[in-house]
Amino acid sequence: MKRQHGIITAALATIFSLLPATSPFAGSQDEHAGHRAQSTPASESSLSEGVVRKADKAAGKVTIAHGPLPNLKMPAMTMVFRVKDAAWLDRMQVDSTIRFQAESINGVLTIVHLESAK
Ligand SMILES: [Cu+2]
């Protein structure tokens, strides 16, 4: 059992060392406390809502009726986005509501973060 405990402890240490600074566990590392205020993790408020109108898997594109996109200074409209990961298109059923973040990558508006609305 001692040996097993040692392995688990080592595994936990590895996991904790891999945790991002935004993790609540990072608070126990006092030497990093001063940096926390500077990190701005993508919070839920940075996501925009939209309704999937059409998903084109072959083209890796999706048509979304989206709400305002503050980071792109874009009002609500219906438009086509590229998706960073084509596998996301499987999660984009027509008429479903999604929460996403879009960025302009080389001038192409691309969905870089996706979650289901519920
Ligand atoms: Cu738009």
**CA 66–ligand 1 middle distance (angstroms):** 7
- Closest CA relative to residue 91, chosen from 101, 83, 103, 102: 83
**CA 79–ligand 1 middle distance (angstroms):** 5
**CA 108–ligand 1 middle distance (angstroms):** 12
> What pLDDT is recorded for position 116?
74
- pTM equals 0.61
**CA 20–ligand 1 middle distance (angstroms):** 32
> What pLDDT is recorded for position 13?
59
Query: Which residues of the chain fall below pLDDT 50?
Result: 23, 26-29, 36-44
Asked whether 8 and 18 are in contact (CB, 8 A), the reply is no
Secondary-structure class of domain 45-116 per CATH = mainly beta
> What pLDDT is recorded for position 40?
46
Asked whether 79 and 66 are in contact (CB, 8 A), the reply is yes
> What pLDDT is recorded for position 3?
65
Residues lying with their CB under 5 A of ligand 1, a single-atom ion: 74, 77, 79
What phi and psi, each to the nearest 5 degrees, are found at residue 36? -65, -35
> What pLDDT is recorded for position 39?
41
**CA 39–ligand 1 middle distance (angstroms):** 28
pLDDT in tens, 43-67: 445 799 999 999 999 999 999 999 9
**CA 76–ligand 1 middle distance (angstroms):** 6
In the chain, where are the structural domains located?
A: 2-38, 45-116
**CA 53–ligand 1 middle distance (angstroms):** 13
